[in-house]
Amino acid sequence: MIKLEQLKKIFNTGGGEVAALDGVDVDIKKGEFVAIMGRSGSGKSTMLNILGCMDQPTSGRYLLSDQDVSRLNDDELSKIRNEYIGFVFQSFHLLPRLTALQNVMLPLRFATPERQKSGQKRAEELLDKVGLADRMHHLPNEMSGGQIQRVAIARSLINKPHVLLADEPTGNLDTKMSKQIIDLIVDLNRQGQTIVMVTHEPDIAAHAGRTIRVLDGRIV
Ligand code: ADP
Ligand code: MG
């Protein structure tokens, strides 16, 4: 489903060039749950941003579902992003004045009225699936951090993404809430969802089927 070939990402900074990714080869199959680990500054977020079509490589190839997405323009990339990718971040990015249900439906705001209608049903089902059937009409400030992250996960799944990308999804949560979130992620993977998750916590990575270790922009 995902294939990176000799992928490089060079940033030009005031102090010169930084190779955030320095020739990376990665293969991820449909239905896999992969953790990406490595210390701070090793290139994990850069890799996830490229996997999520939020950024483009400097060189190398990225094949997503057999399509070469490494040379697309911004419009084409955002289309791929909407259709193929779900993203969950460390900080939760919910809109504060929208309810849980409205937040989950946010990615559908440009869809046709018919799709919005079927989307609402799916949003309700997803909130039920993440254990928030009784919180649908609550605002973010009426929910705990763990509940908010579960809303964010439900939202990331509304468009049935081919792959769910998560960057430190438990990074801002206490142990108990982290456990709930990782249990949910494992459950989604058991139901067939392909997942790539960045974490620096070994006990969180231990839930994945496989771990990719990154150091100084290379896979070790
Ligand atoms: P990680 O997520 O593993 O902490 P990052 O992918 O964020 O690492 O960063 C990898 C390297 O690339 C670091 O040296 C970082 O400073 C650099 N870097 C990341 N993003 C940028 C950017 N937008 N501009 C310049 N340098 C960047
Ligand atoms: Mg990072």
CATH code of 117's domain? 3.40.50.300
Residue 91 pLDDT level (bands cut at 50, 70, 90): confident
CA of 110 to the centre of ligand 2 (A): 30
Domain that holds residue 89: 2-219
pLDDT value of residue 116: 85
User: 73 versus 33: which is more confidently predicted?
Assistant: 33
Among 98, 90, 113, which Cα is nearest to 168's? Answer: 90
Ligand nearest to the CA of 38: 1
Tokens linked to 166: 């998560």
Residue 21 has what pLDDT? 98
Count of domains observed in the chain: 1
Q: In a mutational test of the pocket of ligand 1, which residue from 10, 12, 13, 18 has the highest number of ligand atoms less than 8 Å from its CB?
A: 18
Report the mean per-residue pLDDT for the chain.
Answer: 93
Q: What is the rounded (10 degree) CA torsion for 58, 64, 68, 70?
A: -20
Residue identifier of the C-alpha nearest atom 10 of ligand 1: 43
How many angstroms is it from 117 CA to the middle of ligand 1?
A: 40
Which is the closest atom of ligand 1 to the Cα of 9?
Answer: 12
Measured by CA distance, the residue closest to atom 11 of ligand 1 is: 20
Closest ligand 1 atom, residue 49 Cα = 6
Give the whole-angstrom CA distance, residue 209 versus residue 196: 10
Mean pLDDT of 57-86: 92
* Residue ranges around ligand 1 (CB below 6 Å): 11, 13, 18, 20, 38, 40-46
For the cut 80, the answer to whether the pLDDT of residue 92 exceeds it is no
Structure tokens at 8: 């490089």
Q: Which ligand is nearest to the CA of 47?
A: 1
pLDDT digits (tens, 9 = 90+) for 121-156: 999 999 999 999 999 999 999 999 999 999 999 999
Nearest CA to ligand 1 atom 18: 20
Nearest Cα residue to atom 24 of ligand 1 = 11
pLDDT tens-place string over residues 168-211: 999 888 898 899 999 999 999 999 999 999 998 999 999 999 99
Q: Is 74 within 8 Å of 85 (Cβ atoms)? A: no
User: What angle do helix axes 145-156 and 113-129 make, rounded to 10 degrees?
Assistant: 140
Radius of gyration of the chain (CA): 17
Q: Which ligand 1 atom is nearest residue 42's CA?
A: 3
